[in-house]
Structure formats: C-alpha cells, structure tokens
Amino acid sequence: MTSRLKTLGEAGQAVWLDFIDRRFLSDGGLRKLVEEDGLTGVTSNPSIFEKAMGHGDAYDAGFQAAAGRADASAQDLYESQAIGDVKAAAADLRRVYDRLCGKDGYVSLEVSPRLANDAAATVEEARRLWAAVDEPNLMVKVPGTKAGVTALRVLVEAGVNVNITLLFSLGAYQAVADTYMAGLEARAARGEPIDRIASVASFFVSRIDAQIDQAIDARLAANDPQSADLAAIRGKVAIANAKLAYAWFRTLLASERWQALAAKGARPQRLLWASTGVRDPAYPDTLYVDALVGPNTVTTLPPKTLDAFRDHGAVGPTLTEDIEGARRVLSEAARLGLDLDAVTRGLVEEGITLFAEATDALLGAVDAKRATLLGDRQRATDAPPANSPQTAPATPTQ
C-alpha cells in the first residue's frame, strides 16, 4: 500500500521533515523516510538543535573532539556539530536531489536570529555557512524581516539557495517573491546561470490561528454581541490566509515577468507551509496538512504530525477549493475587528525572539556539555594508569 505521504508527492506537494538529530541520522531514520514515505527535504532551526544537542549523549563524541581547543567558543562547537548533521542529511537526500535534477532534496540551516535586523551580517553569515557545508542541496534559512529580504536579493544574485522564513502575511510574501525575482534578474543580467537556484518562502500557519483564536475566545467569554459570527470563523483564518497566498502565487507564475525568467530556466520559489502542527487539541491533528495540498508547494511536518498524516491524513486539491470562501473569512475577520496585519507583525517579532532565546539556551547547553566533558577529560588525565601501583596515603601525624 502506498504511503499517504507519498500521495502528497503525487499531488505535486513535497514533504519535508521539521526535525534533525544525530542519532536519527546515524541510525538511518532519514534514509528510511526517504525510501518508504517519499520524504524530499529537512528543515532545522535553533529550537530543534537545542533539543537535539542539549539532551542525551548523542553529540558527546563530537563535542569531546572539539572541546579541547582553547579558542573554541560555544558558537564554534555548535556550528561544528550542526554542520556535520546538515552535511549528513544532505548526503541522505542527495539521491533525491540528483533524481529530480535539483528541484528537491534540500536541507535547511538557519543563520543566527541575532542577525535578523542586520542585512550585511546576514549575508556574511549565510555565505560562510554555504561555503562551510559546501553541498548543492543546502538552503540557508533567513528570517523574513526587512533586513532579511534585503539579504535575500544579494544571496540569490550570488547563487545561494535560500529558505526565507517567518512569513505570516500575504504582503510579506509578495515582497519576498518580488525580491527573489529581482535577484534572479540581476544574476541573469550578469550572464550568470539561474537554472540551479532554489528557494522556498516559509509561510507559517497554526501560529496565526493560535493568536486569532485567543482573541476570539476572550470575546466569547465576555458574551460579545458578535459571538456567533466570531465562533463561525474560529480556526479558519490561518488556512484562508494561506489559500490566498497560494492563489497569488499561481497568478505570479502566469505573469510575463515570471515567464521571462522561466524561459531562462528559473525555478519557482515554492510556498512552504510551516507551523503545521495543531496548537488546539480540539482541531484534527492533520488539519493544516489536509487543508493545504497543491502543486508547487512544500509541507514541512514535525515528527508527530508526520506520523499522524501517515496514519489518517487526507489528500485532495484543497488549496484551490473555495477561494472565495477564504476571502469571505478574512473579510469577516476584519469586519469583526480582528486585526490580522497587527497579529502577523507581532508574530514575526515573537518568532525572532523565540529563536533567539532558543539559540541562547542551545549555546548554554553546549557550554555546559563542554565543561562536563573537559572535567571528565581532566579527571581521566589526573587518574593513575589502571595497572600502576597506588601510592599509599600518608599516615596522619599524631
């Protein structure tokens, strides 16, 4: 029986895993998902690496090898291990990348969220990571801030694959799509090839409903006179928002500007649905996967959501269904005083803060690991050889 996850691929949607871990890679977990479920990509972020490196002993050997360098910072130690994981994932996905001629098979590694508002520093770090990993199926993750969008153009023109992340609104996505095309145009104008550059625009879903639903619930609890109308759109705003982004993407692909780039071999910047795990237990656990299936898109799934979809997910052309209904949902939200623009702006800032906090926790965990490992090494150095005679303790003076 064909895996439900493979049927997403048959519908034109790539499935990426929102998870990475040393033991998962070394035990063949990623290869198994590629072979059995048709997985075609992996994403990572500071939160994922904090969970992976900060707990257990899977990274101890790697830390032990690097921890003795006096000049090695916690950032250096983290990067050495993260790059190792990303290179291993890229190797597992290379067959996909080659089979699809570079259309898929990517693994993402994020620049520091501390650089989110510094375009020049983002470009510098992205290019450094690109060179350090040195695999054609890497995507460097850059946040979709104003500075991040500026960096996107420079990186695309330089031939770096970019996953532009933390997109929540149609306007933000449109700015990113325009910038991607501008980077391709500038590169083509220099006579450089554009047929091997790949990019995705990571559009977040469930976090929007979490914020909007919270506002709705507060008004329902206060017996708001518009309670019935508010309840009717609960849990529907995020999907409507994503559907309209996809509708705009389809219009873009038909535009003269894009067609001119496509004639030179350019690849579309696919929409990637991020934050697909449900946050309200009252909702079906595959809600944000089932409702957003369509060609030229990516869905990135945390392990729990991936397992749920494999078990009972549904595949159909849902992204193009009832677009007018999606417009009505957003129109109704505005009429009811639910400010989606304010919510999405706040979510970008919140996302950067959360990733920065995760980075701090990650580096703190790495420092603690180093202290422990160096302590163990020092104790091993100080201990006498196993077969050497032990010196008897001195007799205390009376």
**Would residue 159 be called left, alpha or beta, if left means φ above 0 and alpha means ψ between -120 and 50 degrees?**
left
**Residue 146 annotated in active site:** no
Signed CA dihedral, 315, 319, 325, 329: sign only? positive
Contact between 40 and 95 (Cβ < 8 Å): no
Q: Write down the residue that tokens 């910038």 correspond to.
A: 179
Q: Name the residue among 125, 118, 46 with its Cα closest to residue 355.
A: 46
For 322-351, b where at least 16 C-beta lie within 10 A, e where not — what string?
A: eeeebeebbebbeebebebeebbeebbeeb
User: What is the rounded distance in angstroms from the CA atom of residue 186 to the CA atom of residue 337?
Assistant: 42
Q: Name the residue among 291, 298, 242 with its Cα closest to residue 268.
A: 298
Q: Name the residue among 201, 189, 174 with its Cα closest to residue 255.
A: 174
Could you say which of 87, 141, 236, 369 is catalytic? Answer: 141
Single-letter amino acid code for the residue at 342: A
Contact between 350 and 328 (Cβ < 8 Å): no
Contact between 185 and 258 (Cβ < 8 Å): no
User: What is the rounded distance in angstroms from the CA atom of residue 319 to the CA atom of residue 253?
Assistant: 16
Helices (H), the chain: 4-10, 22-26, 29-37, 46-54, 60-67, 74-99, 119-133, 146-157, 170-189, 206-221, 227-232, 237-253, 256-262, 287-290, 303-312, 323-335, 340-382
Q: Backbone phi, then psi, for 321, in 5-degree steps?
A: -85, 135
Measure the CA angle with vertex 143, ends 115 and 38; round to 5°. 130
Signed CA dihedral, 14, 15, 21, 25: sign only? negative
Do you know the residue count of the chain? 398
Annotated catalytic residues are: 141
